[in-house]
Amino acid sequence: MWNCGSANPPEYKARNRPPICISPVSTMKTFARPFSASLVLLLLLLWIVAPGAAASQDLEALLSRMTLEEKVGQMTQLTLQAVSETKGEPGVAHIIDHDALREAIAERHVGSLLNVYDMARTESEWRMLMTHIDEVTRTESRLGIPILYGIDAVHGNNYLMEATIFPQNIGLAATWNTDLVAKASRITAQETRAVGINWNFSPVLDVARTPLWSRFFETFGEDPYATAVLGTAAVMAMQEPGPTGYPAVAATGKHFLGYSMPLSGKDRTPAWIPERMLRDIFLPPFEAAMNAGLMTIMINSAEINGIPVHADKFVLTDLLREELGFEGIAVTDWEDIGKLVELHRVAESYKEAVFQSVDAGIDMAMVPYDYTFTDTLIELVAEGRISESRIDESVMRILSVKKKLGLFDRSASHPTARVDIGSDASHSTSLQAARESMTLLKNNGVLPLDSESTILAAGPALDNIPMMFGSWSYTWQGTDPAAYPAGIQTLGEELADRLAERVIMAPWGGYHEADRFRAAAYASDVAVLALGEVPSVEKPGDIESLRLPDEQVAIVRQAAESGARVVVVLFQNRPRIIREIEPYADAIVLAYLPGPYGAQAVVDVLDGTVNPGGHLPFTYPRFSGSLVPYDHKPSEASDILYGTNAFQPQYPFGHGLSYTEFHYSDLTVDAAQFDSHGTIEVGVTVENVGNLAGRDVVHVFVQDHVASVTPAVRRLRAFSVVDLESGDSARLTWTLGEADFSFTGRDLKPVLEPGTFSIHVDSLSYMFELHQ
């Protein structure tokens, strides 16, 4: 087996493929609360979160020297567009407007810049930009307070041309490999800081409860526990000390709070979420990340229960600061203070909107084009509506993050070449992530492909690079093929390279190509159909239905009618309804948005080079009108037509097939020590009874049979990834604590009630009593 860190991993242009690269994952790893990490990493995080008294005194001294204008400037964030001459044209170097930059930093004391025009830039361009900004800050501002520079490095540093790009988070979640998520996040952070960018607007910690939502693919799925584990791993890895000795970047938990369940399914539209649900479903990932040292959060752009979150003091002060004790930066999203006037209509004027948002608890405004926020906040302080002590709170948080990042240390803050951007080892990690994410939803014996089969290859995603990457890929929407680096292999090219004369490429042009498509299908043994959706995110990604387009449904039926066996490969931002095509498909592979090595990873699964091991991090719906998650209430699975079997998703949460077979046995639950120690030991044996080596994901669910608040049918409370050779077995154990059996009670406080519980692992279950 090839070592993932060894020399000569694949490059985008490679044609000679390396052996399978699979990093070992502990088969005995416990993912019980509070999301444990190594002792060394915990010590490093303690160092990050708790700077010494001397550092605190230094910042207090600096704060005492600052004028009100300098303080409010620190709370202001401008887009790079506001200080640029060029407009993000392809092939045109980005040019800073020096006078505008000097005004922003030296005269207006701006504390943060973000983004780039909607076009990825090269390493050398980024270094020039960051050096220019650093030079102006150092030589022309009175106090020399460094700039926090933010970027949406969502799946790799996707605005850096040479960076390593990974599968989107929903695909990483399908690996269930916490170590791999951490590794990808670490590489992203290091490659981001290497060009001088010190603040990453990632990871998304929203829990994806509605597949209609256009940012579904940015999440780690529908489960709060899994999102907490994987999201915290990402945060800790991003904020690990890099070559400079300081954290590589400040991570950002997005979007606090309740952003991912709009009632309409459309982005930035109202959500109605009871406080109990906020606490049980949406809060845990943020709380876990904060406990692990998360430095910043970005605020939900929308409203919850009729109150825009940017003006919600309960969420931003009572909950975030007083209850959770968060001391990091709370930054707005794009223009969201102004939207309190224009969109939400809870403020009559921009001045009132600034008052509401600062009073609610924001620290920094992503303005992002001018100084209206700065001037207005200064006016509010002068009028006595906002106290200067309130300003000091936010400024100290901003300065503290800059201090933790080493931005005041000249030897560490300047962009350096200490990281090998886009290294061979980093690319091998991207390939590994793509392979491990591949999720086999259905297989009627057609996969792996027979070595003698004639294969028809067709579909809109066959030769479409953006459909493999998704949004946030070299541009915001990720739809421009010209923006991508040269040499990325499409699925069609990969099939042609590896299966050569056995492959028939059918044209994709919709209905008018139907005759040519049918002829190719009749000449083939197997039809590999690459389906999905064009990248889109945020408001451009709003859709009316999850149904696949008619022409994609049609080619599946036509291929099946020809007598060819049909293999469907899905590249999609969210689970699109496949109920109509599922009966015609002999196999379905969900590739998510796998990135630059997506084509290789898919063909590796199709030809059997890789045994698929991905498992769904969400419930795959059967109907657009029935978007019910796995942890639903009992009443959601019962009605007069279907009895107690009304919950009928296309594929259940955690589903994923393999080319081998796993057998579960000997589920044990030791609840005897719960009264004295507050813990329960759970164990199960997993055996590979098939003929091939394979990987499985083992999920541990808890069911509370009776509670004072209607309980979910089950809740995920632990998981492990296990690699087993044919005939091998492993004994897995987990320790569950009181929090794993608790819920938010009627008084909106955590409660553990005695009674009957069950542990579920695969088809095994164990019922027991808990006593207080």
Radius of gyration of the chain from Cα atoms?
26
Average pLDDT of the segment spanning 297-309: 98
Confidence of residue 161 (pLDDT cuts 50, 70, 90): very high
Q: Which amino acid is at 484?
A: Y
Query: pLDDT at position 5, please?
Result: 36
C-alpha distances out from residue 120 to 199, 369, 484, Å = 17, 20, 9
**What is the rounded distance in angstroms from the CA atom of residue 317 to the CA atom of residue 326?**
9
Question: Domain 44-81+111-413: what homologous superfamily?
Answer: Glycoside hydrolase, family 3, N-terminal domain (3.20.20.300)
Q: Which residues, at least 6 apart from 340, have a Cβ–Cβ distance to it below 8 Å?
A: 308, 310, 311, 346, 347, 352, 353, 356, 357
The pLDDT of residue 19 is above 60: no
Mean pLDDT of the chain: 91
In 3D, which of 289, 178, 173, 275 has the Cα closest to residue 228? 289
Provide the β-strand partners of residue 714: none
The pLDDT of residue 389 is above 80: yes
The pLDDT of residue 6 is above 80: no
In this structure, of 43-52, 160-169, 196-205, 581-590, the range with the lowest mean pLDDT score is 43-52
Report how far apart the first and last C-alpha atoms of the chain are (Å, whole number): 50
**What is the rounded distance in angstroms from the CA atom of residue 766 to the CA atom of residue 757?**
8
- DSSP label at 18? P
C-alpha distances out from residue 686 to 29, 465, 663, 733, Å = 14, 38, 6, 11
What CATH architecture is 660-770?
A: Sandwich (2.60)
Q: What is the sign of the dihedral through the CA atoms of 134, 135, 136 and 140? A: positive
Q: Residues 31, 37, 39, CA angle at the centre, nearest 5°?
A: 140
Query: pLDDT at position 508, please?
Result: 65
In 3D, which of 547, 563, 632 has the Cα closest to residue 209? 632
Three-state secondary-structure class, residue 744: strand
In 3D, which of 46, 40, 52, 33 has the Cα closest to residue 292? 46
Q: What string of DSSP letters covers 516-529?
A: HHHHHHHT-SEEEE
**What is the rounded distance in angstroms from the CA atom of residue 366 to the CA atom of residue 298?**
10
> 572 and 594 in contact (C-beta within 8 Å)?
no
Query: pLDDT at position 411, please?
Result: 75
Three-state secondary-structure class, residue 699: strand
Q: What is the pLDDT of residues 502-550, one digit of tens each?
A: 999 986 655 457 788 888 899 999 999 999 999 999 999 999 999 999 9
Query: pLDDT at position 607, please?
Result: 97
Strands 587-592 and 439-443, bridge-based pairing: antiparallel
Q: What is the pLDDT of residues 363-384, one digit of tens each?
A: 999 999 999 999 999 999 999 9
Query: pLDDT at position 25, please?
Result: 35
Catalytic residue (one of 333, 336, 696, 762):
333
Average pLDDT of the segment spanning 298-323: 98
Confidence of residue 11 (pLDDT cuts 50, 70, 90): very low
Strands 112-114 and 76-79, bridge-based pairing: parallel
Confidence of residue 642 (pLDDT cuts 50, 70, 90): low
In 3D, which of 466, 455, 456, 524 has the Cα closest to residue 490? 466
Query: pLDDT at position 671, please?
Result: 85
Q: What is the pLDDT of residues 567-598, one digit of tens each?
A: 999 999 999 999 999 999 999 999 999 999 99
Confidence of residue 94 (pLDDT cuts 50, 70, 90): confident
Within 438-549, residue ranges assigned H as helices are 465-469, 491-499, 514-522
Query: pLDDT at position 88, please?
Result: 74
Cis preceding-peptide flag for 460 (omega within 30 of 0): no
Within 66-206, residue ranges assigned H as helices are 68-74, 98-102, 123-140, 169-175, 178-193
Q: What is the pLDDT of residues 241-283, one digit of tens each?
A: 877 789 999 999 999 999 999 999 999 999 999 999 999 999 9
Three-state SS letters, 298-367: EECCCEECCEEHHHCHHHHHHHHHHHCCCCCEEECCCCCCCHHHHCCCCCCCHHHHHHHHHHHCCCEEEC
Confidence of residue 91 (pLDDT cuts 50, 70, 90): confident
Give the start-to-end residue ranges of the domains of the chain. Answer: 44-81+111-413, 438-636, 660-770
Three-state secondary-structure class, residue 497: helix
**What is the rounded distance in angstroms from the CA atom of residue 117 to the CA atom of residue 483?**
13
Q: What is the pLDDT of residues 456-495, one digit of tens each?
A: 999 999 999 999 999 999 999 999 999 999 999 999 999 9
Q: What is the sign of the dihedral through the CA atoms of 318, 324, 325 and 330? A: negative
> 108 and 365 in contact (C-beta within 8 Å)?
no
Q: Residues 285, 626, 273, CA angle at the centre, nearest 5°?
A: 40
Domain 438-636: which topology?
Answer: Rossmann fold (3.40.50)
The pair of three-digit structure tokens given for residue 287, joined into one six-digit string: 């709380």
Query: pLDDT at position 472, please?
Result: 95
C-alpha distances out from residue 673 to 335, 446, 677, 705, 760, Å = 53, 49, 6, 21, 20
Query: pLDDT at position 500, please?
Result: 87
Query: pLDDT at position 676, please?
Result: 59
> 234 and 178 in contact (C-beta within 8 Å)?
no
Query: pLDDT at position 673, please?
Result: 72
Query: pLDDT at position 718, please?
Result: 98
The pLDDT of residue 31 is above 60: no
Provide the β-strand partners of residue 694: 724
The pTM of this model reads 0.91
Query: Between these two residues, 710 and 671, which has the higher pLDDT value?
Result: 710
Q: Which amino acid is at 32?
A: A
Q: What is the sign of the dihedral through the CA atoms of 494, 498, 500 and 502? A: negative
Q: Which residues, at least 6 apart from 412, have a Cβ–Cβ distance to it below 8 Å?
A: 244, 245, 246, 406
Query: pLDDT at position 22, please?
Result: 29
Provide the total of helices (H) and of strands (E) in the chain, helices listed first: 23, 25
Three-state secondary-structure class, residue 480: coil
Q: Which amino acid is at 671?
A: A
Query: pLDDT at position 641, please?
Result: 67
Active site residue 333: yes
Three-state secondary-structure class, residue 429: helix
Q: Which residues, at least 6 apart from 114, have a Cβ–Cβ distance to it below 8 Å?
A: 77, 78, 79, 80, 149, 150, 151, 199, 201, 366, 368
In 3D, which of 108, 121, 179 has the Cα closest to residue 153? 121
Q: Which percentage of the chain shows pLDDT scores above 70?
A: 90
The pLDDT of residue 426 is above 90: yes
